[in-house]
Structure 1
Amino acid sequence: MNGRATATRHGRDRRAHVVHGPQGAPRVRGTAPRVAVIGGGIAGLAAATALAERGVHVTVYEREHQLGGRLRGWPEELADGSTITMSRGFHAFFRQYYNLRGLLRRTDPALRTLRGLPDYPLRHSGGLQDGFARVPRTPPWSALGFAALSPTFGGRDLTRMNARAALPLLDVRVPDIYRRLDHLSAWEFLERIRFPRAAHHLAFEVFSRSFFADPRHLSAAELALMFHIYFLGSSEGLLFDVPREPFPAALWEPLARYLTGHGADLRTGRAVEHVEPARGGGFHVVTGDGRQRCDAVVLALDVNGLRHVVGQSPRFVDDAAWRARIMGLGTAPPFLVSRLWLDRRVAPDRPGFLGTSGYGALDNVSVLERWEGEAARWSARTGGSVVELHAYAVDPAADRAAEQRGLLAQLHRLYPETRDARIVDARHAWHADCPLFPVGGHRNRPTVRTPDPAVTVAGDIVRSGLPVALMERAATTGFLAANALLERWGLRGQTLWTVPVRGRTAALRALNRLVGD
């Protein structure tokens, strides 16, 4: 999926949906427009890529000193003198992420920087465990196979389920799913279905917490959309890839070289203070060291950054209702990433990634040397392990030191061999900047287009009308933001792919419409 081969899906699902970009000239002819992309995460880099490939003058402003946004990495020195790359933690690159993977193919056409993990295991403290390695990938056999193989489903559980309440899961369409379910929480929706409690905790709670939110506060529409993307709507399956090296080396440094090769100006360590209309048209983007004029702006910021720029730019996008919606956006509760360098290795049968439920605040555990080169080299040199622990949706009032100790205690409970391990070093990263998808919040989220046609918005908070979420929503809306500007200038846009935009079975779609209406 590059500027010349935009119709290549690079996936196994023959029902994947193509979204054609605007038609036009392949590159700028004459004076090139100038675009300021504010934010150097996935969304901003996708927008910058599509624009720069077509000859648009692009300047990317990123407040951090590294690109990648919530997937950035930065160097730190451990107590043993080792230089390592710290980050905000594990991220799964699912095979359904067609547009994110298309972005990465710009510098790695075969995606050799990614490697697949053999399973996506989930473990409950009560002893139940699920996985997806043996589950068929094509719906509806995926759902039937999961139910047949999972210890959380029994015959009595299946007969108790409310099939009528579950029908929206069988034909997820955007935005219709928000009309039907956005008024419910994910927890309430599963209660209505009478989903088996063990499966409720082990599978769906793990998925809902991928949004860094408690399922009691997450929109049921987002949960249903995830079910469609990863399970009943797509035949790509639930297995995923991870980078072979830390994010900067594997992903962002090569993409930065690609962008500068296309004339993009990447300004890291530059926070945008505000944006103001320029006399005669266009805008001035103001940073601490000056201002630059541009013809258009892509706002590719996290929620806090978006609210800051809009709030500090009173004459930018002169529409009171739009500005009020932006200022009303919220963030999910804090989350914690604890990375530990241990003086001995964990047991050899421990998976590279494990989702957990019932282990206090612990949501998952990664053993980084199983798949990341930098961690593997440290492990080979020292005989130790690099273990990463995640806790999502932590109470904002919680004692942070106590939470960190609690994660370590749960690791000892889960992997007993770590109890006697000495911690060579540890890093604890706390963040509270992920978007919140609350009950009833869909109508207030921004769209790619704004009241000003020269301003677009991109990111995982943005609603697009396509079945995408998380990192893939960031990449997709980044490309869509670029397409909206390219269309204004008569330039060819980026072709995109998504999972199917509706349920896969005609009879179930018809039944869902009958019941839903």
Structure 2
Amino acid sequence: MSGEIAKDRRIVRHPGPRASTHPVERAGRPRVVVVGGGIAGLCAATGLVERGVEVRLIERESYLGGRAGGWTEQLGDGGQVAMSRGFHAFFRQYYNLRLLLRRADPGLERLTALDDYPLIDSRGRLDSFRGLPRNPPWNAVAFALRSPTFRKRDLLRLDPRAAAPLGNVTVPGIYHRLDHVDAESFLRSINFPPAARHLAFEVFSRSFFAHPSQMSAAELAAMFHIYFLGSNEGILFDVPDAGFDRSLWTPLHKYLTARGVEFRVGTTVQRIDLVDGGRSFRVHDDAGNTDAVNGVVLAADVPGLREVVDASPDLHAPHWTESVRSLRSAPPFFVQRLWLDEPVAPHRPAFLGTAGRTPLDNISVLDRYDRDAQDWSARRGGSTVELHAYGIPADPGVGQEACTQRLRRDLLRRLHEIYPETARSGIAAESFLWREDCPLFGVGDFARRPLVATPHPGLVLAGDGVRIDLPVALMERAATTGWHAANHLLARWGLRGHDLFSVPTAGRTAALRWLTTRVKEGTR
């Protein structure tokens, strides 16, 4: 299997549980409710139903995919367009997520590669990932040395002692070393040039929807390992070739339905009761249904998970309940999608990350790769452009409506500043949304974060806010915890599990591991 999903020969296989050689006591076919139809819940449902478990998936929204979901909106002219929460990058290191997508698309033909991920700062300096060597550490070195914000003499000014943790990242070891430090302070301690720090590291850290001062340095180091020093898959990525529902989740829905998964969308789970001393459960939803099941996968987002646990006194347990309640959401983010009546200049990239251009974090030109946007452009002759603002600070004196209007105005001004031709375009239609449901990977949070396993043997958690001690992040963390949750229940019933995959679980380069060891010894 590893040869089908990775170019990296050092990909690590984490074997799933083997089928029991002894009969496992159970009354017939196990029944499970999966709460949440995002990536984590879909992985869990897939892992379970493929081993013969009866699965019912309950999703609060009317669509699947969670924060990578898609839906249809109607424009003012009556036309219908695809909408989502915004751009998602499907990196080649997302092995377990790709295993899910391959269920309905074996060749991953519904993903299309982007050839670059350029970044621009407030002075117009541009970084590019095109043509970088794939092998560590030369990928990171080449990126730094050809950056307009990083000069050769800056290499000599770096503090090797402070940077040492980047050379040999292990999980959970890196969290024990750096989770008490914020990412911004960590980068300063390395003596990374401020301009390069803002352009490269801050752009990546804000993909966690928070400012570097609010983010754990351990998460930043783990991310650097996943994308640079721990993997030779490269930093480039694929994107769905149409709206997420059309490309990803409708085909997967058909795959799972054909195998017996029952979907209940637009439905919210209200409470979970323990039955028979915790050996089984009753799941109550707002449609009046009560499901008697042998297992539950709680794969809701952070606010949804807290709500279900708080409303389910049977689930409360010392320390664990507080662990769930301690999960925090990142600051809100804003997405503005514009349908322009004139095309964006043809040389503009599909995706552009920005730094120092508050409140804008990135620009996507969807008709570069998305068939839904291309269809609209073919009819109207314009472009579909998406603007993101992450980690918006609270302003108690300003209501959301006033904040929305200010963001719309400021984001549009930034678009015109970076892509001047768009200032001549009219806006044929606009859609925007606020969200505040992404987990915050804050300083010191790791030790408090709940695991997949819970005090109740038939209840497991999944999602990108859940702790799993593997080098994974973002959508891949959601997918990995989903598969792992399924494996946990399958092992309980003596059924064969699913193998998981990751980038190397320790520093990839012997020279860097040696240097890290020497630097650590020098600090004693």
The normalised TM-score by structure 2 is: 0.95
In structure 1, the partner of 2:141 is 144
In structure 2, the partner of 1:13 is 8
Task: Give aligned pairs, total.
Answer: 511
Q: Report the Cα distance in structure 1 between the residues aligned to 2:484 and 2:519, rounded to whole angstroms.
A: 33
Q: 2:425 aligned with 1:421, yes or no?
A: yes
Q: Report the Cα distance in structure 2 between the residues aligned to 1:290 and 1:493, rounded to whole angstroms.
A: 30
In structure 1, the partner of 2:314 is 315
In structure 1, the partner of 2:493 is 489
In structure 2, the partner of 1:335 is 333
Q: Report the Cα distance in structure 2 between the residues aligned to 1:18 and 1:507, rounded to whole angstroms.
A: 24
Q: Report the Cα distance in structure 2 between the residues aligned to 1:7 and 1:240, rounded to whole angstroms.
A: 18
Matches within 5 A, 1:114-153: 114-153=111-150
Matches within 5 A, 1:341-420: 341-397=339-395, 399-420=403-424
Q: 2:195 aligned with 1:189, yes or no?
A: no
In structure 2, the partner of 1:3 is none
Tell whether the 8 Å contact from 2:352 to 2:363 is kept in structure 1 after alignment: yes
Amino acid in the other structure paired with 1:352: A
In structure 2, the partner of 1:297 is 296
Moved over 3 A (4+): 6-9, 25-30, 513-517
How far has the Cα of 1:9 moved from its partner? Answer: 4.7
Q: 2:58 aligned with 1:54, yes or no?
A: no
Among 100, 106, 127, which residue is 1:109 paired with?
106
Matches within 5 A, 1:242-281: 242-279=239-276, 281=279
Q: 2:509 aligned with 1:510, yes or no?
A: no
Q: Report the Cα distance in structure 1 between the residues aligned to 2:326 and 2:144, rounded to whole angstroms.
A: 40
Tell whether the 8 Å contact from 2:145 to 2:152 is kept in structure 1 after alignment: no
Q: Report the Cα distance in structure 2 between the residues aligned to 1:343 and 1:327, rounded to whole angstroms.
A: 47
Which string of whole-angstrom CA distances, capped at 9 and with x for unpartnered residues, describes residues 453-483 of structure 1? Answer: 1111110011111000000000000000000
Q: Report the Cα distance in structure 2 between the residues aligned to 1:516 and 1:287, rounded to whole angstroms.
A: 53
Q: Report the Cα distance in structure 2 between the residues aligned to 1:377 and 1:40, rounded to whole angstroms.
A: 28
Among 78, 81, 102, which residue is 1:81 paired with?
78
Amino acid in the other structure paired with 2:506: R
How far has the Cα of 1:134 moved from its partner? Answer: 1.4
Which string of whole-angstrom CA distances, capped at 9 and with x for unpartnered residues, describes residues 295-316 of structure 1? Answer: 1111101100000000000112
In structure 2, the partner of 1:175 is 172
Q: Report the Cα distance in structure 2 between the residues aligned to 1:100 and 1:205, rounded to whole angstroms.
A: 25
Q: Report the Cα distance in structure 2 between the residues aligned to 1:201 and 1:140, rounded to whole angstroms.
A: 21
Q: 2:321 aligned with 1:326, yes or no?
A: no
Tell whether the 8 Å contact from 1:218 to 1:439 is kept in structure 2 after alignment: yes
How far has the Cα of 1:155 moved from its partner? Answer: 2.1
Q: Report the Cα distance in structure 1 between the residues aligned to 2:27 and 2:441, rounded to whole angstroms.
A: 43
User: SS of 1:315's equivalent?
Assistant: helix
User: SS of 2:223's equivalent?
Assistant: helix
Q: Report the Cα distance in structure 2 between the residues aligned to 1:155 and 1:89, rounded to whole angstroms.
A: 36
Tell whether the 8 Å contact from 1:7 to 1:495 is kept in structure 2 after alignment: no
Q: Report the Cα distance in structure 2 between the residues aligned to 1:488 and 1:515, rounded to whole angstroms.
A: 44
Q: Report the Cα distance in structure 1 between the residues aligned to 2:217 and 2:384, rounded to whole angstroms.
A: 35
Q: Report the Cα distance in structure 2 between the residues aligned to 1:235 and 1:419, rounded to whole angstroms.
A: 40
Q: Report the Cα distance in structure 1 between the residues aligned to 2:290 and 2:394, rounded to whole angstroms.
A: 37
Amino acid in the other structure paired with 1:131: S
Which string of whole-angstrom CA distances, capped at 9 and with x for unpartnered residues, describes residues 376-426 of structure 1? Answer: 010011011100000000013262211121101100111111112111110
Which string of whole-angstrom CA distances, capped at 9 and with x for unpartnered residues, describes residues 208-253 of structure 1? Answer: 0000000001000000010000111100011000000100011111
In structure 1, the partner of 2:483 is 479
Q: 2:445 aligned with 1:435, yes or no?
A: no
How far has the Cα of 1:265 moved from its partner? Answer: 0.9
How far has the Cα of 1:150 moved from its partner? Answer: 1.4
How far has the Cα of 1:506 moved from its partner? Answer: 2.3
Q: Report the Cα distance in structure 2 between the residues aligned to 1:487 and 1:222, rounded to whole angstroms.
A: 30
User: SS of 1:320's equivalent?
Assistant: coil
Q: Report the Cα distance in structure 1 between the residues aligned to 2:110 and 2:134, rounded to whole angstroms.
A: 24
Tell whether the 8 Å contact from 1:273 to 1:309 is kept in structure 2 after alignment: yes
Tell whether the 8 Å contact from 1:9 to 1:497 is kept in structure 2 after alignment: no
Which string of whole-angstrom CA distances, capped at 9 and with x for unpartnered residues, describes residues 81-134 of structure 1? Answer: 221111101100000000001100001111000000110111112121001111
Mean Cα deviation higher: 395-404 or 356-365: 395-404
Tell whether the 8 Å contact from 2:160 to 2:519 is kept in structure 1 after alignment: no
CA, structure 1 residues 7+131, in 2 after alignment: closer, same or farther (shift >3 Å)? closer
Q: Report the Cα distance in structure 1 between the residues aligned to 2:467 and 2:422, rounded to whole angstroms.
A: 43
Tell whether the 8 Å contact from 2:82 to 2:243 is kept in structure 1 after alignment: yes
Among 86, 93, 96, which residue is 1:99 paired with?
96
CA, structure 1 residues 7+350, in 2 after alignment: closer, same or farther (shift >3 Å)? closer
Amino acid in the other structure paired with 1:370: R
User: SS of 1:274's equivalent?
Assistant: strand
How far has the Cα of 1:30 moved from its partner? Answer: 7.8
Q: Report the Cα distance in structure 2 between the residues aligned to 1:42 and 1:171, rounded to whole angstroms.
A: 29
Mean Cα deviation higher: 148-157 or 427-436: 148-157
Amino acid in the other structure paired with 1:12: K
How far has the Cα of 1:359 moved from its partner? Answer: 1.3
Q: Report the Cα distance in structure 1 between the residues aligned to 2:113 and 2:341, rounded to whole angstroms.
A: 27
In structure 1, the partner of 2:233 is 236
Tell whether the 8 Å contact from 1:338 to 1:388 is kept in structure 2 after alignment: yes
Amino acid in the other structure paired with 1:278: V
Q: 2:286 aligned with 1:282, yes or no?
A: no
Tell whether the 8 Å contact from 2:136 to 2:509 is kept in structure 1 after alignment: no
Q: Report the Cα distance in structure 1 between the residues aligned to 2:242 and 2:509, rounded to whole angstroms.
A: 40
Q: Report the Cα distance in structure 1 between the residues aligned to 2:375 and 2:20, rounded to whole angstroms.
A: 48
In structure 1, the partner of 2:34 is 37
Q: 2:453 aligned with 1:449, yes or no?
A: yes
CA, structure 1 residues 495+136, in 2 after alignment: closer, same or farther (shift >3 Å)? same
In structure 2, the partner of 1:203 is 200
How far has the Cα of 1:25 moved from its partner? Answer: 6.3
Q: Report the Cα distance in structure 2 between the residues aligned to 1:153 and 1:483, rounded to whole angstroms.
A: 45
Amino acid in the other structure paired with 1:382: R
Tell whether the 8 Å contact from 1:340 to 1:423 is kept in structure 2 after alignment: yes
Amino acid in the other structure paired with 2:98: R
In structure 2, the partner of 1:67 is 64
Tell whether the 8 Å contact from 1:37 to 1:61 is kept in structure 2 after alignment: yes
CA, structure 1 residues 353+295, in 2 after alignment: closer, same or farther (shift >3 Å)? same
Tell whether the 8 Å contact from 2:2 to 2:11 is kept in structure 1 after alignment: no
Q: Report the Cα distance in structure 1 between the residues aligned to 2:192 and 2:4, rounded to whole angstroms.
A: 34
Q: 2:461 aligned with 1:461, yes or no?
A: no
How far has the Cα of 1:173 moved from its partner? Answer: 0.3
